[in-house]
């Protein structure tokens, strides 16, 4: 593995060493494939969006103003590609199937249960409004701050907070069948149900 | 807490295979190689957005600056090493890529919209550019005047950050990549036209 910084690699690629771009692809493909997969809901679209982002980034590499932050710049391109693809394919059903799970690293414990849980989550994610899904993933999965998300998406911070809150509410609603009822009650500060029928 | 379990699951690593790398690099190899050196990169011509009221003056100025820089870069390089004719041609082509922009007015009637944005190949389909954000002019009419490079373009309106709408007053074209309709825009020298 090349230990050069992103900026050094960008500089060499811009001097004509196109093969070195493969190093940047390897550095960022897995990290960003996760976002594309969750955002678009299936492997095929995620790979297409990610590939498109990498090739657009290569074409525009000379316009990358801060090569040290190549990863952040690439991610911005990817977020836009996912938005565009998601909007254009909005009518297409998200087709998250078991095959897509192959993208995940192998689960070390209870693989069948784990896969079922993942599928439930992906299904619920797919039923969120795109802007809510985007805000939720950027905030909690990619762990970006609201200011950074705002710069990335063009949406205001208060609007983003609202989207994240609604996404959480909706996910809780959609996953209510698989989430332990006690967990939900504890979180909401509700008392436990004392159901006499079971006593 | 249930939400922590959901987040933990979503944060699990995803792994792409080597075929993905091969596909990307295959496209990269088919594209023209970059030929910027350090100085050329620092002084390279940049495409910038100009105010719609001053497009001609600004564009001529930028073109002159870009051509001067291209010439200066060429001189610097010649002093350091022998250049091929193709290198010179590539630098000149890069300098000439500073295109003239023309003011174009985009109008959409959308009475129930809360936000209208113009996206197209001229802003990389990015809905976060303020200069392409339409203002509500009353009566459900939204419009924005923005600087667009001369040439053929494809564009669309994005309403309320989610709904893509083609311009009902412009010719439609099918996007080759996605099979979806967009609006066609031809920006010509002199007067901008749609």
pLDDT in tens, B21-80: 999 999 999 988 887 655 545 544 444 444 555 566 666 666 676 677 666 665 555 555
The reply to whether residue A85 touches residue B178, judged by beta carbons under 8 angstroms, is yes
Going by C-beta distance under 8 Å and a sequence separation of 6 or more, which residues neighbour residue B83?
B74, B77
What six digits make up the tokens of B30? 């088919």
pLDDT in tens, A18-50: 999 999 999 999 999 999 999 998 888 899 999
Band the pLDDT of B182: cuts 50, 70, 90: confident
Q: Which among A55, A64, A84, A175 is the top mutation candidate for probing chain B, defined by the most B β-carbons within 10 Å of its own β-carbon?
A: A84
Domain boundaries, chain A: 1-92, 109-189
What class does CATH assign to A109-189? Answer: mainly alpha
Alpha-helical (H) ranges within chain A are 6-14, 21-40, 43-59, 70-88, 111-126, 130-136, 146-153, 157-174, 181-188
| More confident site: A179 or A17 | A17
CA distances, A160 to each of A40, A145, B134, B163 (Å): 19, 11, 21, 18
Question: What residue ranges in chain B does DSSP mark as E strands?
Answer: 101-109, 116-120, 135-136, 141-149, 151-159, 163-165, 172-174, 181-187, 192-193
Partners of B47 on chain A (C-beta within 8 Å) are 63
Calpha distance A65→B50 (Å, rounded): 19
Q: Please report where in the chains the tokens 């010649």 appear, as a residue.
A: B78
Partners of B9 on chain A (C-beta within 8 Å) are 117-118, 121
Average pLDDT of span B184-191? 76
Q: What is the pLDDT of residue A107?
A: 52
Question: Is pLDDT of A164 > 80?
Answer: yes
Q: Which among B2, B21, B29 is the top mutation candidate for probing chain A, defined by the most A β-carbons within 10 Å of its own β-carbon?
A: B2
B146 strand-pairing partners: B104
Q: Where in chain B is the domain with CATH 2.60.40.10?
A: 101-193
Q: What is the mean pLDDT of chain B?
A: 74
pLDDT in tens, A47-82: 999 999 999 999 888 888 899 999 999 999 999 999
**Second CATH level (architecture) for the domain B101-193:** Sandwich (2.60)
Phi-psi region of B135 (alpha: psi -120 to 50; beta: other; left: phi over 0): beta
How close does chain B come to A199, measured CA to CA in Å?
A: 27
Lowest-confidence range among A85-94, A173-182, B84-93, B152-161? Answer: B84-93
Which of these CATH numbers, 1.10.1740.10, 3.40.50.1980, 3.40.30.10, 3.40.50.300, describes A1-92? 1.10.1740.10
Cβ proximity of A182 and A192 under 8 Å: yes
């Amino acid at each position: 593995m090349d230990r050069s910084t992103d900026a050094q690699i960008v500089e060499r690629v811009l001097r004509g060493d196109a093969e070195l771009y493969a190093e940047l692809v390897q550095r960022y493909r897995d990290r960003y494939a996760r976002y594309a997969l969750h955002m678009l809901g299936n492997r095929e679209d995620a790979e297409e969006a990610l590939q498109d982002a990498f090739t657009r980034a290569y074409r525009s590499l000379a316009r990358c103003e801060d090569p040290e932050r190549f990863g952040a710049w690439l991610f911005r391109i990817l977020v836009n590609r996912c938005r565009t693809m998601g909007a254009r394919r909005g009518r297409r059903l998200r087709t998250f199937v078991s095959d897509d799970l192959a993208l995940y690293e192998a689960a070390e414990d209870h693989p069948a249960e784990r896969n079922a849980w993942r599928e439930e989550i992906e299904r619920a994610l797919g039923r969120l409004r795109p802007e809510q899904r985007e805000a939720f993933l950027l905030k909690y999965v990619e762990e970006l701050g609201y200011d950074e998300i705002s710069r990335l998406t063009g949406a205001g911070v208060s609007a983003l907070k609202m989207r994240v809150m609604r996404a959480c509410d909706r996910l809780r609603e959609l996953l209510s069948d698989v989430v332990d009822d006690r967990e939900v009650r504890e979180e909401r500060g509700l008392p436990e149900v004392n159901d006499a029928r079971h006593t | 807490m249930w939400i922590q379990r959901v987040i933990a699951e979503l944060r699990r690593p995803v792994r792409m295979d080597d075929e993905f790398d091969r596909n990307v690099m295959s496209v990269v190899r088919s594209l023209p190689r970059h030929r910027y050196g350090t100085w050329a990169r620092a002084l390279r011509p940049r495409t910038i957005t100009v105010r719609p009221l001053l497009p001609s003056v600004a564009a001529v100025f930028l073109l002159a600056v870009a051509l001067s820089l291209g010439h200066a870069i060429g001189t610097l390089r010649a002093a350091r090493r022998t250049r091929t004719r193709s290198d010179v041609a590539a630098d000149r082509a890069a300098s000439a890529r500073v295109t003239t922009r023309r003011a174009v007015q985009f109008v959409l009637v959308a009475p129930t919209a809360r936000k209208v944005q113009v996206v197209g190949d001229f802003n990389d389909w990015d809905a976060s550019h303020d200069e392409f954000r339409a203002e509500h002019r009353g009566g459900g009419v939204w419009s924005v005047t923005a600087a667009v490079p001369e040439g053929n373009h494809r564009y669309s309106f994005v309403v309320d950050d989610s709904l893509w709408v083609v311009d009902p007053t412009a010719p439609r074209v099918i996007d080759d990549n996605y099979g979806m309709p967009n609006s066609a825009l031809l920006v010509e020298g002199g007067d901008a036209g749609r």
